[in-house]
Amino acid sequence: MELRDLPKVDALSRESALSGYPVAVRTAAARGAVAKMRAMVQAGKSPQNGVAIELAVNEAESLVASSLVEVINASGVILHTGIGRARLAPSVQRRLSEVAGSHVATEIDLASGERGDRQDHVRALLLALTSAEDAHVVNNCAAAVLLALCALCAQKEVILSRGQMIEIGGSFRMPDIVRQSGCRLVEVGCTNKTHVFDYEDAITEETAAILRCHPSNYRVVGFTQGVSAESLRKIADEKGLLIIDDMGNGCLIDIAEYGLPHETTLPEAVAAGADVVTASADKLLGGPQAGIILGRKEAIAKIRKHPLARAVRVDKLTLTALEETLRLYSTGRQNEIPTLAYLSKPLDSVKRDAQRLKRAFKGESLVSQGFTEVGGGSAPGAGIPTWRLGLKTADPIATARKLRTGRPAILTRIERDIVWLDPRTIDRSELLRVEKALSLL
């Protein structure tokens, strides 16, 4: 076959095999099929008769199929960004279903019939759980930082330690976010050491705020030194500056009780005196993707009134998921949140699950101790002990791909040519499905 022999898009789109699809899908599927055939011919291959229709049908099925495929997390990372970070609690899932299928009083005061404030659904809970003066919620933490800087520091200088010049997933960098806000970034200190005098020497009449960033996905160790939130508050008070503390991980309670290193909690950050504290809701807090902004009333009022606040506002589903997750904390039921349930899962229970999965696999395997990472830029370098199942196969890459592309999709990891499954993050309801997948390998 030569390029001139390729089928016409319009003719292929009219094939009876595609008749069940709308015109737009048939055309897109035909166009995609022809493009693949063109690539085959250019690579020196000659497509067989009938391949055009087969490719077009595959293209059409792919177009209409849901791309958000359910994944069972056996990767050994609790908050895996690639699969949506925090898993919502069962009670939150049920409430989301109710709200998604009905109209709800998102932004209306039912008593007066007048317009209400959608932030009211989460504000009281956030204030009760953190002791902040006020709160505002947006669609993610990067938006929270950007909004705070735009509203409070535009056209002014913002000081940031070089040791906190973080880059998060997708090559988004904190210095870029600062510049995008219209602020002028002033870098101080060194990668491993920043002192009080570094901040003091950098302050000018144009300085509006000191920005403090959680290291997110890395940890600097060894010959290091930083400046505490309390010391920064003292500097800010003396110079009349704002403190914006990007906590990132959104930790509401002390995770040291789960055997992890202590991470500053949101209540602690508020108590340390920051004017604004920002955090993610889908990390250690265990809620939906959202950016939480806590702080002093005056600062939050300016943030709320800024035009960008409308552009990054949250919808009714995010508000519902966050409200219900916060309600679990407020009623002492936080261990129903999967993120915290996984952290607190007893080690002997994890081992039993690993042994159960081992019995399902017909090939050579082993049950071995390991560590489950927290992940999601929440507690860099931290993990908790686990037991995991290792599959010894001739082609570990192919084995991992087969599990990953199956239904259900099972996410694993490869280390030392062994495919590892960590059952710490596998729910009881999912174990049987994983067993079946393993038995078919």
**Across the strands, what pairs with 185?**
158
The residue to which tokens 């042994």 are assigned: 355
Give the integer Cα–Cα distance in Å for 116 and 107.
Answer: 5
Q: How far apart are CA 37 and CA 45, in angstroms?
A: 9
> Among positive and negative, which fits the CA dihedral 196, 201, 205, 207?
negative
| pLDDT tens per residue across span 53-72 | 999 999 999 999 988 999 99
pLDDT of residue 191: 78
CA distance 308 to 139: 12
Comparison of pLDDT for 427 and 225, the residue scoring more:
427
**What percent of the chain lies above the pLDDT cut of 90?**
83
Token duo for residue 358? 């081992």
The whole-number pLDDT of residue 219 equals: 65
The CA–CA distances, whole Å, from 143 to 147, 187, 279, 361 equal: 6, 21, 10, 45
Give ∠ CA 105-111-117 in degrees, rounded to 5: 45
Per-residue pLDDT reduced to its tens digit, 94-145: 999 999 999 999 999 999 999 999 999 999 999 999 999 999 999 999 999 9
The pLDDT of residue 261: 87
Amino acid letter, residue 239: K
The tokens of 437 are what? 């997948």
Q: How confident is the model at residue 204 (pLDDT cuts 50, 70, 90)?
A: very high
Q: Convert 342-380 to b/e letters by CB count within 10 Å (16 or more is b).
A: bbebeeeebbebbebbbebbeeebebeebebbbbbbbbb
Per mean pLDDT, which range of 86-90, 107-111, 233-237, 247-251 is the poorest? 247-251
Distances (CA, A) of 83 to 63, 80, 94, 181, 325: 21, 6, 20, 29, 19
Q: Is 325 helix (H, G, I), strand (E, B) or coil?
A: helix
Q: Residue 46 — pLDDT band, cuts 50, 70, 90?
A: confident
Per the DSSP assignment, residues forming a β-bridge with 413 are 420
Lowest mean pLDDT: which of 79-88, 144-153, 160-169, 406-415? 160-169
Local structure of 168: helix, strand or coil: strand
pLDDT tens for 6-32 read: 999 999 999 999 999 999 999 999 999
pLDDT of the residue at 39: 94
Residue 215: what pLDDT?
75
Burial of 24 (0-12, 13-18, 19+ CB in 10 A): exposed
- With residue 230 as reference, give the H or E element that holds it: helix 229-239
Query: For 239-278, how does the pLDDT look when each residue is reduced to its tens digit (9 = 90+)?
Result: 999 999 998 889 999 999 998 888 899 999 999 999 999 9
CA distance 441 to 437: 7
Residue 151 has pLDDT above 80, yes or no: yes
Local confidence band at 293 (pLDDT 50, 70, 90 cut-offs): very high
Q: How far apart are CA 59 and CA 26, in angstroms?
A: 9
Question: Does the pLDDT at position 216 exceed 80?
Answer: no
**Residue 148, number of CB atoms within 10 A of its CB:** 31
pLDDT for the residue numbered 36: 94
d(CA 370, CA 383): 9
pLDDT of residue 214: 81
Q: What is the pLDDT of residues 380-417, one digit of tens each?
A: 667 899 999 999 999 999 999 999 999 999 999 999 99
CB-based contacts of 400, cutoff 8 Å, min separation 6: 412, 413, 414, 419
**Mean pLDDT score of the chain, rounded to an integer?**
93
CB 283 within 8 A of CB 377: yes
DSSP state of 185: E
